[in-house]
Structure 1
Amino acid sequence: MPVLWILLCVLGLGLAGMVMGRARALRSAGGDARHLHSLPGYYGYHVLIAAVVPALLLMAAWLLIQPRIIETRVADLIPERIVAEGSSIGLVMADVRRVAEGLDLAVSKGSISADDARNMRSDLTDVRARLGEVGVALGSDVQPEVLKAAQAYRGAKSISNTAMTAAVLGLALIGFVFGMYRTTADFRARNVVERAVKALLILASTIAILTTVGIVMSMLLETRNFFGQYSWTEFFFGPTWSPNFRGGSELGILPLLWGTLYISLIALVVAVPVGLFAAIYMSEYAGPKLRATAKPAIEILAGIPTIVYGLFALITVGPALRDYFAQPLGLGESSASVATAGLVMGIMLIPFVSSLSDDIINAVPQAMRDGSLGLGATKSETIKQVVIPAALPGIVGAILLAASRAIGETMIVVLGAGAAAKMSLNPFEAMTTVTVKIVSQLTGDTDFASPETLVAFALGLTLFVITLCLNVLALYIVRKYREQYE
């Protein structure tokens, strides 16, 4: 049964339990809700939670663990000869999954029967022809052992899905019966429901924390594998970025870091003054009507997809900078440049700075402004010496958010700055960033045993450390100014 159907069945059972649990509680109290320990709704919520939550948790755990177990068992069926020819087990398993999906598609469209999909033993030419009828193309390098592994993969997945369906629906039914059994007038439903909700809130926060830990650990493990094959000194201090999957790569990060920081700096030079001054004007000088129009208009910039900004950089901003600045000054002939990407990225970041800064400035108590004005300060002096220092923590947070957004941007850089990894002070030359190279190194059928692919994780971990350092620096600045202000 598809996962969506299982989810709908569990939710339907839970909603039915909520209605029936409430009705059962009222019947046990003789129709008088005053004789119940808790409000009638709590009894319905108790049955809903008992039927839905354990079943969905089991399904989530099953979906997380099932693929790893199946792939581990199927990988044992693949001969070492096939793995050696395919250069890595990951690439071979990708072929296995593709063939298995092709068999599923062929069965669903009626091109082959389910028995044929399980027992197909003909030569691969016939297999390719039959799967090609449903739009599944197999490469010429697919081996018979891969077909056999795909059939085993498909069978194990089918058995696992059937078992998951039975286990999840069975647990949901058990929870429903258990909840209905406990529904009596004396049952403390409110206490149980509140404890269950508290546990769910704790679980949600724990998932968020564990997700962060998992991201960091995954990058650390793969980065360790990378540095086991490539020198860390050459990675961090190498001035050349020249990956070559055939060997002889130079994977120095310095050109990528330079491009990332250079483009981000130009973007912040554009976004921070414009965004901060716009926030000050809207919060301190603009009237209600103008503010009601200007703020949503600025925030529209945040809703534009980054690919649109990239096209704007490629078609409009890049040629304009080339024709009016780069060529007359003799600084470059290309429309793809650091200045192009930085300028367009700065425009994209304006609402991140202005909206957050505006909200923080408006949160400064009016009494502080009135006190400053009462002491004889002008409006501009009040803004400079009272409002901005009081709102500084939030403003620093807004700038930090904009910086993090700039460091992680990809599409604008690809279309606006090009893909040249080099170090130059000329803002009208094409350069690239760390995020662009992460994408390029992980694009296509990559071999996760080679340093040219694993380097993407080292690049990601480096970006993570840079962002962490920015947070620490921002925290230091905020604390310093808070102490001075107080």
Structure 2
Amino acid sequence: MQTNQIFLLFCGILLLLGLVAFFLGRAKAARVRGAGISMYAQPDQYAWFTVLSTAGPALMVGAIGAFVMLLLGAEIPTFYLLSGSLVVAAVGLAVGVMQVRPEFHARQAIEHVIRLLLAGAALISIFTTFGILFSIIFEALRFFQKESLWEFITGTTWSPGASFLEAAGRAEEGSGGGQFGSIPLFAGTMMITLIAMLVAIPIGLMSSIYMSEFAPHRVRGIAKPMLEILAGIPTVVYGFFAAITVAPIIVDVAGFFGLDAAYNNAVAPGMVMGIMIIPFISSLSDDVINSVPDSLRQGALALGMTNSETIKHVVLPAALPGIISASLLAVSRALGETMIVVMAAGMRPNLTANPLEDMTTVTVSIVAALTGDQEFESSATLSAFALGLALFVVTLTLNIVSVVMIRRFREKYRINDL
């Protein structure tokens, strides 16, 4: 019998055992209750507890067995694993039916299981984050065993050279090693991110203020969905728009003022990236501004403030923690963007303060290091993990700063105290 057939048979038998457990548990609870004995839960709650005691342990045994086989490399025959799970399900059915008695709190037991499931769902993101971090750290340590950490942090030249050929034993005699100074990459990342924020934050914040404070309900119902469509456009489309439309316009405008601009410049991807992340700021800021109690607005207007003064001195300070969160979320989104930069800014690591020149970002270099015919053990490939670790540290620092700022402004402009 094939594995798929065995698995389908297992699911069918487990479903049958669950149905049997449900009806047996409810029938026993109904008999006890029919005898005039008070119980702590309804018959259906005892029935669902019996189902949980039947299916829960069986699924857990199957999941543990799959984990052992996939991650630890153990060989457990599928038939024996699923058969053992069914045996555990039968034992759980018997135990669940035995627990159907007047003094047993079936409802509390079910709620406890639900709390455990919800806590497990919340822990998945935490464990995933740690798994990503550990996988990056281990490979980054291999890179720093080959290259200097100080040179990586302070170096101003990023040129992997023939390091991947050296790792494969195919380097030509006398060929130079790679240089892995990350400053040009982070400088390009920060430059393009800064341009994007200069576009996204003012437009996004002003659009959210208009939609929440000035726009009629009908206009808001049309404008907000249309604005949020920007978040659903693929980034490759934004890349085409930046490379074909925006970059030539920037070159022409710079030439009009007597400036020399490359077609692969930092301004084009920065502006288009700012347009792309406007919905992140406008939508979140709009929700935060709408959550400010209307009593604050009415009180300010009753004291003689104009609508604009109310927004400036009352609404925005009260909504400032949420606006900061939305802005920093947009910064994190801009730091991780790749396709727009590849298509409009190029892939040359260029340490310059002129945004009209071509430059690249950390994420583009990570993609370049992990694609193509390269030896994985080379410094060129392992540098992607070092860059990923550095970018992780930068985004983590931004998140910590945002939490500190949000708490500080929340204490200063606490809505409940206004």
Q: Are 1:381 and 2:309 matched, yes or no?
A: yes
Amino acid at match of 1:207: I
Using the alignment, how far apart are the partners of 1:174 and 1:310 within structure 2?
A: 59
Q: Are 1:460 and 2:388 matched, yes or no?
A: yes
- Structure 2: runs of 5+ lacking an equivalent: 167-176
Q: Are 1:43 and 2:46 matched, yes or no?
A: yes
Using the alignment, how far apart are the partners of 1:393 and 1:462 within structure 2?
A: 27
Q: 1:241 to 1:190 in 2, by over 3 A?
A: same
Query: Which residue is 2:359 aligned to?
Result: 431
| SS, match of residue 29 in structure 1 | helix
Query: Which residue is 2:225 aligned to?
Result: 296
1:28–1:184: 8 Å Cα contact kept in structure 2?
A: no
Q: Cα distance, 1:180 vs. partner?
A: 3.7
> Residues 216-255 of structure 1: matches in 2 within 5 Å?
216-243=133-160, 244=162, 245-247=164-166, 248-255=177-184
> Residues 62-461 of structure 1: matches in 2 within 5 Å?
62-70=65-73, 160-184=77-101, 187-243=104-160, 244=162, 245-247=164-166, 248-325=177-254, 329-334=258-263, 336-443=264-371, 447-461=375-389
Q: Cα distance, 1:4 vs. partner?
A: 7.2
Using the alignment, how far apart are the partners of 1:183 and 1:20 within structure 2?
A: 12
1:33–1:40: 8 Å Cα contact kept in structure 2?
A: no
- Structure 1: runs of 5+ lacking an equivalent: 74-155
- Higher mean Cα deviation, 448-457 or 183-192? 183-192
Q: Cα distance, 1:469 vs. partner?
A: 1.6
Q: 1:429 to 1:374 in 2, by over 3 A?
A: same
TM-score, normalization: structure 2?
0.85
Amino acid at match of 1:53: G
Q: 1:446 to 1:179 in 2, by over 3 A?
A: farther
1:278–1:354: 8 Å Cα contact kept in structure 2?
A: yes
Query: Which residue is 1:59 aligned to?
Result: 62
Q: Cα distance, 1:443 vs. partner?
A: 2.6
| SS, match of residue 359 in structure 2 | coil
Amino acid at match of 1:237: T
| SS, match of residue 128 in structure 2 | helix
Q: Cα distance, 1:246 vs. partner?
A: 1.7
Amino acid at match of 1:296: P
Please report the RMSD computed on the Cα atoms of aligned residues, expressed in angstroms. Answer: 2.9
Using the alignment, how far apart are the partners of 2:372 and 2:205 within structure 1?
A: 42
Q: 1:183 to 1:450 in 2, by over 3 A?
A: farther
Using the alignment, how far apart are the partners of 1:50 and 1:206 within structure 2?
A: 23
Q: Cα distance, 1:330 vs. partner?
A: 4.4
1:10–1:52: 8 Å Cα contact kept in structure 2?
A: no
Using the alignment, how far apart are the partners of 1:325 and 1:290 within structure 2?
A: 37
Q: 1:233 to 1:356 in 2, by over 3 A?
A: same
Amino acid at match of 2:72: I
Using the alignment, how far apart are the partners of 1:236 and 1:13 within structure 2?
A: 61
Q: 1:449 to 1:192 in 2, by over 3 A?
A: same
Using the alignment, how far apart are the partners of 1:7 and 1:225 within structure 2?
A: 44
Q: Cα distance, 1:189 vs. partner?
A: 1.7
Q: 1:413 to 1:14 in 2, by over 3 A?
A: farther
Q: 1:40 to 1:302 in 2, by over 3 A?
A: farther
Q: 1:163-222 CA distances to partner (integer Å, 9 max, x unpaired)?
A: 443344443444344334434565432122122222223333333323222222222222
Q: Cα distance, 1:45 vs. partner?
A: 2.1
Using the alignment, how far apart are the partners of 1:23 and 1:215 within structure 2?
A: 46
Using the alignment, how far apart are the partners of 2:309 and 2:41 within structure 1?
A: 58
Q: 1:48-68 CA distances to partner (integer Å, 9 max, x unpaired)?
A: 322333333333333333234
Amino acid at match of 1:430: D
2:58–2:88: 8 Å Cα contact kept in structure 1?
A: yes
Using the alignment, how far apart are the partners of 2:196 and 2:158 within structure 1?
A: 24
Using the alignment, how far apart are the partners of 1:221 and 1:257 within structure 2?
A: 22
Using the alignment, how far apart are the partners of 2:396 and 2:390 within structure 1?
A: 10
Amino acid at match of 1:267: A
| SS, match of residue 153 in structure 2 | helix
| SS, match of residue 426 in structure 1 | coil
- Higher mean Cα deviation, 214-223 or 226-235? 214-223
Amino acid at match of 2:347: A
Using the alignment, how far apart are the partners of 1:289 and 1:303 within structure 2?
A: 23
Q: 1:327 to 1:194 in 2, by over 3 A?
A: same
Q: Cα distance, 1:358 vs. partner?
A: 0.7
- Aligned mate of 1:474, from 402, 406, 412: 402
Q: 1:324 to 1:26 in 2, by over 3 A?
A: same
Percentage identity across paired residues of the two chains = 44
Using the alignment, how far apart are the partners of 2:135 and 2:293 within structure 1?
A: 45
Q: 1:374 to 1:65 in 2, by over 3 A?
A: same
Query: Which residue is 2:28 aligned to?
Result: 25
Q: 1:341 to 1:168 in 2, by over 3 A?
A: farther
- Higher mean Cα deviation, 410-419 or 228-237? 410-419
Q: Cα distance, 1:375 vs. partner?
A: 1.7
Q: Cα distance, 1:326 vs. partner?
A: 5.7
Query: Which residue is 1:140 aligned to?
Result: none
Q: 1:187 to 1:468 in 2, by over 3 A?
A: same
Using the alignment, how far apart are the partners of 2:8 and 2:247 within structure 1?
A: 50
Using the alignment, how far apart are the partners of 1:14 and 1:340 within structure 2?
A: 62
Count residues with an aligned counterpart.
399
